[in-house]
Structure 1
Amino acid sequence: MSDLTLILLAAGNSSRFKTPVKKQWLRIGHDPLWLYVTNRIKENLPSVNIVIAAHADEIPFMRPMCDYTIVQGGATRQQSLKNALTQVNTSYVMVTDIARSCVDPDLIDRLIASKDAADTIVPVLDVHDTVVYEGATIERENVKRVQTPQLSRTDVLRRALETDIEYTDESSAVVAAGGSRCFVPGDTRAAKITHTSDLGALECLIPPSAAVFTGNGFDVHGFEADKPMVLGGVSIDSPVGFKAHSDGDVAIHALIDALLGAACLGDIGMLFPDTDNAYKNIDSKELLKECVSKLHQFGFVILHADITIIAQAPKISPYKDLMRRTLAPLLHIPAARLNVKATTTEHLGFVGREEGVAVSATASVHYFDWKHG
């Protein structure tokens, strides 16, 4: 079906999903969940247009991973959908949530086969248990469990969403606006991931890859007189500090780049631009905490880090152990898996002339293993 756009909603905050990883970024093999679900549906609809609504902070990291149209989501599911609809110019639109990860091709075929039956086509499941509502038992035959994807006429859905009332699915908005709805059989395999316990019941989800990824970071800062020196997260006894937008902790900056490199999440300038006054003179340990949180949200666990400080002055040896004990907790690893080394340039170059310090860092990460906790 070529006159169709698929909208995938992936802008939620996963507030009920109790892991450090955002639900959208759980790894299925190597793919984050949002990409796995999109590609899985795309296989059954090769000619479909695709629009993904995502959290604004995540879009720069999603775009290198696919060629799909990605738009900024809103504060609610409905606002995310409205934002995505601005990119739709087909007569029909199919909407689903990334959390609905195991949509069967047969379910999609049923929706498309019924596209002319009503303004919106909805997969539903019957309820087999007794249902009590506000103290009264009601006929369970009249109760349906609504699923996604839902297929709608684009113009009808757009008009239905011109309201301040928040609906939890598209069909409710369409019906409230006077449109028609047709039910088709749903699929118990298309269960929605809401809690971590839901993952084990979804047979289509394979465990994350066990691969380990390594990244490198390198940074240099010149000296600045009458400024405190902070290096590796600790205060150094020195008559000079570092010339920088932040506190200039060149060791942490190189470490951040190594971590981002291992996770393929860009570089320190992408996360913390030096044009942003929010980072003026900031403690670089705060930047490291935010970087580690970002890695965790995107499905990574830090395995190991190695830092080499290249300095003619000051002397680093007295501080190496304190640096390890300071930085390791910020990485959520034991100090035994964080190494700090120091060397000089034998008085060669700007480092040898005692004009600044250079740091090289390496870090390794792996995917969060949601399968085994």
Structure 2
Amino acid sequence: MKNYWAIILAAGQSSRLQEQGLKTKKQFLTWKGLPLFFHSLVKLANFPKIRGVVLVFSESELSLWQERALNLAFEQGLNLALRFAAGGRLRQDSVFNGLQQLPEECDWVLVHDGARPFFSLQLVSRLFDLAESQPELAGVIPALKSKDTLKEVEANKVKKTLDRDKILRIQTPQLFSFSILKQAHLKAREEGLVGTDDSALVEALGREVGVVEGEEENLKITTQDDLKMLKKEKKVIYKNGFGYDVHRYGGDKPLILGGIPISEKIKVTAHSDGDVLFHALTDALLGALGEEDIGTFFPDTEDTYANMPSSIFFREALLLALKKNFQLVHLDLTIVAQIPKIAPFKRQIKKNLMGLTGLGEEDIALKATTEEGLGFTGAKEGIKVYALVTVKKEEEVENEDL
């Protein structure tokens, strides 16, 4: 099994932001209760292949932040090895110093900027997948295509228009063969080469570097505008609602479930059309929204709702969810009945629910069961439905740490 490590760079001076009045270096800004660089460490600790991380701080801050990082890692329960290095004058000097702290048995190293906390583990996985599938590569980097037209300009005059399909915006984290990256840095120091990222130094060796798709969200905090991403966070709120309804057999309404006619012979007692599935589902959705039950909104004492299709009740609850900025995420429904057999109708019911809600097939669970001859359903006296609904909404909240 290959040995993978990572280097997180947190030795920068944040000169641009400090010129704009920021007193704290960006990598040490508190975000969600933790220093900015530490969010990258937490993510990488959750990637199973990475055995350890080298944290690089400026020489003057190394002792202070080494102690703080170790304490935070203990508090957060991070289970990976940590090593530390002092930064250098240039970014590549900091990487070089970090490389010296890696164990000899390291095979591949992931290099990442501590001021870039928004990357996902899916991105990291893409890097590893390409490196493992194409062993001739010396490294793999994430990149994004440009959405804008690109020009080469000299002395405020356009020289030519560039082919934007061939020019990509490069991000970190970047993954490299440890031995090759070390060789690339040694050559750069010997020949005075300066690269804006590590892949440039690897390219100077004449080695191939692969590319995977990057992420628009994976921004590096560099300017005051970037700080807005930290100041306004998106908070996702999930809520669940439970619904239950029952109808007695022997009435005058043909049995309908989820808007699908089931049986003309089996009839239910009801004020509306008696669709017990939509009644339970509507109650569950209202519950998730923190509202009163279905009887409060659509009382069975009012003639307005007599014989009304119960899908209308559910549609009204969906509109209420939209007004409250909630989005339907998942439905879990269980129909309990001795008779009739529900299995032949499940596909139709599910398809109808997909059309009403816009949910995908995997977002709706529809089950049917009996009570093995027990209770009123077992005695073939009625039918009942349990419903569980999940909704979510996104809210922007101010980060009080900044």
Q: C-alpha offsets along residues 107-154 of structure 1, whole Å, 9 cap, x if unaligned? A: 000001011321010100001211101321111111100011000001
Give the alignment of 1:241-256 within 5 angstroms: none
| Higher Cα Rg, which structure | 2
Structure 2 match to 1:72: 86
Structure 1 match to 2:138: 119
Q: C-alpha offsets along residues 87-115 of structure 1, whole Å, 9 cap, x if unaligned? A: 11301000010111111110000001011
Q: C-alpha offsets along residues 261-315 of structure 1, whole Å, 9 cap, x if unaligned? A: xxxxxxxxxxxxxxxxxxxxxxxxxxxxxxxxxxxxxxxxxxxxxxxxxxxxxxx
Structure with the largest fraction of strand: 2
Which residue of 229, 232, 238 maps to 1:201? 229
TM-score by length of 2: 0.50
State the secondary structure of the residue aligned to 2:215: coil
Give the alignment of 1:101-140 within 5 angstroms: 101-116=117-132, 117=134, 118-134=137-153, 135=158, 136-140=160-164
State the secondary structure of the residue aligned to 2:225: helix
2:166 pairs with 1:142: yes
Structure 1 match to 2:108: 92
Retained in 1: the 8 A contact 2:2–2:107? no
Equivalent residue letter for 1:100? R
2:176 pairs with 1:152: yes
State the secondary structure of the residue aligned to 2:141: strand
Retained in 1: the 8 A contact 2:7–2:98? yes
- Aligned-partner Cα distance in 2 for 1:371–1:101: 18
2:203 pairs with 1:175: yes
| Deviation of the 1:28 alpha carbon | 1.5
Q: C-alpha offsets along residues 165-200 of structure 1, whole Å, 9 cap, x if unaligned? A: 110111111111111111100011111110121022
- Aligned-partner Cα distance in 2 for 1:188–1:128: 11
Retained in 1: the 8 A contact 2:151–2:162? yes
- Aligned-partner Cα distance in 2 for 1:203–1:125: 25
- Percent identical among aligned pairs is 29
- Aligned-partner Cα distance in 2 for 1:87–1:149: 18
| Deviation of the 1:44 alpha carbon | 2.4
- Aligned-partner Cα distance in 2 for 1:37–1:205: 17
Retained in 2: the 8 A contact 1:127–1:143? yes
Structure 1 match to 2:257: none
Q: List gaps (5 residues or longer) in structure 2.
A: 71-81, 236-397
Retained in 1: the 8 A contact 2:30–2:401? no
Retained in 1: the 8 A contact 2:31–2:230? no
- Aligned-partner Cα distance in 1 for 2:95–2:401: 34
Structure 1 match to 2:378: none
Structure 1 match to 2:73: none
In structure 2, relative to structure 1, the CA distance for the partners of 1:36 and 1:71 (3 Å cut) is same
Equivalent residue letter for 2:172? T
- Aligned-partner Cα distance in 2 for 1:5–1:59: 20
Retained in 2: the 8 A contact 1:29–1:206? no
Q: C-alpha offsets along residues 49-83 of structure 1, whole Å, 9 cap, x if unaligned? A: 10011111211211222342111010000000000
State the secondary structure of the residue aligned to 2:222: coil
Structure 2 match to 1:44: 47
Structure 1 match to 2:96: 82
Give the alignment of 1:5-16 within 5 angstroms: 5-16=5-16
Which residue of 22, 26, 29 maps to 1:26? 29
In structure 2, relative to structure 1, the CA distance for the partners of 1:47 and 1:153 (3 Å cut) is closer
Point out the more displaced range, 178-187 or 21-30: 21-30
In structure 2, relative to structure 1, the CA distance for the partners of 1:150 and 1:33 (3 Å cut) is same
TM-score by length of 1: 0.53
In structure 2, relative to structure 1, the CA distance for the partners of 1:46 and 1:206 (3 Å cut) is farther
Equivalent residue letter for 2:53? I
| Deviation of the 1:2 alpha carbon | 5.7
- Aligned-partner Cα distance in 2 for 1:147–1:57: 27
| Deviation of the 1:204 alpha carbon | 9.8
Equivalent residue letter for 2:178? T
Retained in 2: the 8 A contact 1:41–1:103? no
- Aligned-partner Cα distance in 2 for 1:4–1:108: 12
Q: C-alpha offsets along residues 9-56 of structure 1, whole Å, 9 cap, x if unaligned? A: 111100011301111110023211122221122222474210011111
Equivalent residue letter for 1:161? H
2:239 pairs with 1:187: no
Which residue of 58, 61, 64 maps to 1:61? 64
Retained in 2: the 8 A contact 1:28–1:205? no
- Aligned-partner Cα distance in 2 for 1:151–1:60: 28
Retained in 2: the 8 A contact 1:26–1:370? no
Retained in 2: the 8 A contact 1:110–1:184? yes
RMSD: 2.3
Q: List gaps (5 residues or longer) in structure 1.
A: 208-368
Equivalent residue letter for 1:121? V
In structure 2, relative to structure 1, the CA distance for the partners of 1:157 and 1:203 (3 Å cut) is farther
- Aligned-partner Cα distance in 2 for 1:29–1:156: 37
Equivalent residue letter for 1:91? D
- Aligned-partner Cα distance in 2 for 1:94–1:42: 13
Retained in 2: the 8 A contact 1:102–1:204? no
Structure 1 match to 2:244: none
Structure 2 match to 1:323: none
In structure 2, relative to structure 1, the CA distance for the partners of 1:203 and 1:372 (3 Å cut) is closer
- Aligned-partner Cα distance in 1 for 2:141–2:83: 25
Retained in 1: the 8 A contact 2:230–2:399? no
Count of residue pairs the alignment pairs up: 212
| Deviation of the 1:3 alpha carbon | 0.9
State the secondary structure of the residue aligned to 2:16: coil
